[in-house]
Structure 1
Amino acid sequence: MTSADDRVVPAAARRRRRPTKTGVVLSEELIVQTALRLLREHGADALTVRRLGLALGADPSALYRYFRDTDDLLLAIADELIGRTLRDWRATGVWRADLRDLGLRIHAGALAHPQAAVLSSYRVTGRVHEIEAVETIIGVLRGAGFPDPDAVRIYHAFVDQALAFAALDAASVALPRAAREAEAGVWRAMYARLPADSHPNIAATAHHLVRDMGRSAYPSALDLLLSAAAARLAEAEADPGASGGGSRSPGPSH
C-alpha cells in the first residue's frame, strides 16, 4: 500500500454497505484477522494490498478506507497480538505471579504468530490494547509498592525482555523445519563432541547444553528479572529515600 491519509475514513463510516464477492462485510477486525492468517501461511511477502484484497474478495482500493498503508496495518496487527495477550488474563493481586503469567502470555502469543511477531514486536502502536497493557503493567508494579521511578524502569525492562525474546524465538519458529532441525543438531553433533582437554568447560556442561539450548531461555530470564525486581522492592521498602523519589501506590506488597 502507498500512503493515502486522505482516503482513511472515520471508524463509524468504514462499514461497507454491500458484501464483498465472497459474501462478507469488510471491517478493520476482518482485515487484521485475514492479514494474520496470510502471514502465518505465506510469510511477510503476503502482506500486500493485492493479496489481502484477493483473500477478502474485495477491491484492493477498499482497504484504504481502513488503513493508510501497510505500516498502519502492521501497527494494527501488533496491537491485536497485544489484545489477545490481555483478553483472558486476570490479575490475582500477587504482583510477581501476575507479571510472570503476563510475560509468558506475551511470549506464547508471539510464537502462535511468529511471522507477525517478527515484523511487529519492536513497534510502538499507541493503540487501545497497547495503552491498556502499559496501564495494566505499571498498575501491577505500583500496586506492589514500587516507587514510580522503579515501576517505570522495571516496566521498561519487563516489556523489552518479553518482546525481545518473542522476536528471537518467533524468528526461530518461522525458519523452515529443515533449518530448525539442522540448528538443533549442532549442539549434539559439534558441542557434545568437543574434547575436555581443549574445551573443558563445554565438555563438562555438554549434556546440559544439549538439553537446554533447544528451548527458549525466556522463562528463566523472566524469573531472573522478577527476582531482581523483588530484591529492588525489598531495598525500597527498607530505605524509601534510596529510590530517587517519586510516588508510591498505597497497594499491598507481595
Structure 2
Amino acid sequence: MPAAAIPAPPWRAPRKTPADRQPLSAEAVLSTALRLVDRDGLDALSMRRVAQELGTGAASLYAYFANKDELLEQLLDRVVGEIPLPDGGAADWVGEVKRSCYASREVFCSHRDLAKVARASIPVGPNSLRYTEALLGLLRGAGIPDRIAAWAMDQMAMVIIADAVEQAIHADLGRRTEADAAPYLAQVHDYFAALPADEFPNLVAVAPTMIQGSGDERFAFAIDIMVDGLARHAAPAGGAA
C-alpha cells in the first residue's frame, strides 16, 4: 500500500484544510474584516484573525494598514459609504434629515457592534466627508446657522451610534427581537411597580409606560425631538414646518 494511502491513527487530530490564499489588497482586507465583524462582533476582530481568513500572515497586512486602529477607521468609512447621501435639493428638508437618520441607523445596526468604532472619534474618511458635506449642505440650505448645524450633526450622530450599540448589546444578551426582550422588560416593570409608593410615587405611576414602545418607535421619538427642535432655527425661507 502506498505511504500516502496509509490512514492516520484515530487518536490523531485531523489536519485543518489550509485556507485558500486570496489575492491580497486593501479591499480584500477590508471585506474580510467586515465579514468577521458581521459574523463574530468587533471584539473578535484582530489583524491575526483577518490574516488567517485570507490565508496569509499578519505581517502582510501592514503593507496596507499601519495598525488595527487604521484598519478600523477605514472599515468604518466603508460602512458609512453604504448610507445614501442626503438629497440637498429635497423640498422637505426636515423629512430628508429624518430619513437620513433612519438610513444611518439601519446601516450601522446591520453590522453588529461596529458602531463602537465611531464613539469619541470624528470620521474623516472620504465617504464620511461626502456624507457630512451633503448633510451640512442640507442644513445650511435651510438657513440653519453654522454653529447649530455643526452641533446638530454631532448630537444626531451620537443618538444613532448609541442606538446601534445598544441594539448590538441586546442581541449579544439574546434579546434580538422585541419578543425576546419582553420577559426582561416585564421584570423591569414589576420591579418599578413594586417600589414603595410613598418614596417613589413617580416611578410607580409611570411603571407601565416605562417599557412601552418598540425600539423603532423610541428612536423615531428621539429623532423627532431633535430635528423638529432644529427646525426652529431655520430661516423662514428654508421651508421648515
* TM-score band, normalised by shorter chain: 0.7 to 0.9
- 1:196-249 CA deviation, whole Å, 9 max, x = no partner? 44432223222211223x63633211111111111122xx54xxxxxxxxxxxx
- 1:53-95 CA deviation, whole Å, 9 max, x = no partner? 11122232221121111000010111122111236x6553321
Structure 1 partner of 2:239: 253
In structure 1, what is the Cα distance between the partners aligned to 2:43 and 2:154?
31
Structure 1 residues 137 and 74: CA distance shift in structure 2, 3 A:
same
Structure 1 residues 178 and 137: CA distance shift in structure 2, 3 A:
closer
Structure 1 partner of 2:103: 105
Q: How many matched pairs? A: 217
Structure 1 residues 232 and 178: CA distance shift in structure 2, 3 A:
closer
- Structure 1 alignment gaps of length 5 or more: 1-19, 238-250
- 1:13-41 CA deviation, whole Å, 9 max, x = no partner? xxxxxxx9625323323322221221232
Q: Among residues 169, 172, 177, which one is paired with 1:175 in the alignment?
A: 172
Bigger CA radius of gyration: 2
Letter in 2 for 1:215: G
Structure 1 residues 119 and 154: CA distance shift in structure 2, 3 A:
closer
Structure 2 partner of 1:215: 215
**Aligned-residue offset at 1:195:** 5.5
Alignment of 1:1-254 (within 5 A): 22=20, 24-86=22-84, 90=87, 92-167=90-165, 169-177=166-174, 181=181, 183-194=184-195, 196-212=197-213, 215=215, 217-233=218-234, 236-237=235-236, 252-254=238-240
3-state SS in 2 of match to 1:86: coil
Identical-pair percentage: 25
3-state SS in 2 of match to 1:190: helix
Q: What's the TM-score, normalizing by structure 1?
A: 0.73
Task: Tell me, yes or no, if the aligned pair for 1:111 and 1:166 is still in contact at 8 Å.
Answer: yes
Letter in 2 for 1:207: P
Task: Tell me, yes or no, if the aligned pair for 2:51 and 2:57 is still in contact at 8 Å.
Answer: yes
In structure 2, what is the Cα distance between the partners aligned to 1:188 and 1:150?
38
What is the RMSD computed on CA atoms of the aligned residues?
Answer: 2.9
In structure 1, what is the Cα distance between the partners aligned to 2:187 and 2:34?
32
Structure 2 partner of 1:8: none
Structure 2 partner of 1:4: none
Structure 1 residues 203 and 47: CA distance shift in structure 2, 3 A:
same
Task: Tell me, yes or no, if the aligned pair for 1:143 and 1:253 is still in contact at 8 Å.
Answer: no
**Aligned-residue offset at 1:164:** 3.5
Structure 1 residues 160 and 115: CA distance shift in structure 2, 3 A:
closer
Task: Tell me, yes or no, if the aligned pair for 1:78 and 1:120 is still in contact at 8 Å.
Answer: yes
Task: Tell me, yes or no, if the aligned pair for 2:33 and 2:50 is still in contact at 8 Å.
Answer: yes
Task: Tell me, yes or no, if the aligned pair for 2:73 and 2:117 is still in contact at 8 Å.
Answer: no
Letter in 1 for 2:169: S
In structure 2, what is the Cα distance between the partners aligned to 1:183 and 1:146?
42
Letter in 1 for 2:36: L
Letter in 1 for 2:174: R
3-state SS in 2 of match to 1:58: coil
In structure 1, what is the Cα distance between the partners aligned to 2:154 and 2:117?
20
In structure 1, what is the Cα distance between the partners aligned to 2:58 and 2:103?
34
In structure 1, what is the Cα distance between the partners aligned to 2:43 and 2:149?
39
Structure 1 residues 45 and 197: CA distance shift in structure 2, 3 A:
closer
